[in-house]
Amino acid sequence: MVARSVVSAYESLGLSTNPSTLSRELAEQFSFRLLFLLLPQECLFGEPRRDTPVIEAHLQALGVVPRPQLVKAIKFFVDNFRAKTRQESAKPGITDVYIRYPKIYESILSSQAGRCAVCGVQLHYGVNMQLDHLLPWHLGDDPSDGSNWQFLCDVCNRGKGLLPHYSLGLVSANWIKPDISHSLAEDIRYASLLRDRRCILSGRGPRETHLIVRKKVQSGCWVLDNTETVDGSLIHR
């Protein structure tokens, strides 16, 4: 039923029909948890003779109408996934973009006002700057126009990498790990930033200021429901 709501939301968005753009838009619109639900295991890890019938049958089993655009987008994901698994291409990093695509590097950095796209900290090449793929690298591609790239600070990028491990629900999101939960974990920090998007007091976003995550109730623990995102310039630290 989750998948059905995903697809009806997808249909209501009126996304473009270009398969490459569509895939990227789809990934940005929905959490990756829902995206992965639509991918048949056989197409990712097996060797089906043809992907399309397997994808269509999988969507039908989920109660989703296998519309051609959606099937095409999923085919794009599984093709990329298998190619990446076979190590047919190397994952580019920030240095590749900096050296090989200087104009795109400058354009992305300027569109982000020189700041991390999530927390707004100032980015410095060679210090705290990392390349992030909007559509995960193993599902998507690296179009030469840079449209699948954004720049994150190293802390946000690590937080994003850790995120799926607990994103199964709020119960696990609020879980306490005895060894590390005495301070703000990078995945909780990243999830808080994504949830709030901007300062809950001033409304300023990551293009304008460095956002920090703090506790709502000081005597509580560092769990997701006890965090909030605020403009770092408003806080005396």
Q: Which residues bind Zn ion (CB under 5 A)?
A: 116, 118-119, 153, 156
Q: Outline where 62-112 has alpha helix (H).
A: 68-85, 94-100, 102-111
The residue (of 74 and 118) whose beta carbon lies closer to Zn ion is: 118
Q: Smallest distance, Å, CB 158 to Zn ion?
A: 10
Q: Smallest distance, Å, CB 116 to Zn ion?
A: 3
Q: Smallest distance, Å, CB 109 to Zn ion?
A: 14
Which residues have a Cβ under 8 Å from the Cβ of 119 and sit 6 or more positions away? 153, 155, 156, 193, 206, 210, 211, 212
Q: Smallest distance, Å, CB 105 to Zn ion?
A: 18
Nearest C-alpha neighbor of 232 from the set 186, 192, 201: 201
The residue (of 156 and 185) whose beta carbon lies closer to Zn ion is: 156
Q: Smallest distance, Å, CB 128 to Zn ion?
A: 8
Residue 228: helix, strand or coil by DSSP? Answer: strand
The residue (of 39 and 162) whose beta carbon lies closer to Zn ion is: 162
Helix (H) / strand (E) containing 231: strand 227-231
The residue (of 120 and 136) whose beta carbon lies closer to Zn ion is: 120
| Rounded Cα distance, 139 and 81, in Å | 5
The residue (of 7 and 211) whose beta carbon lies closer to Zn ion is: 211
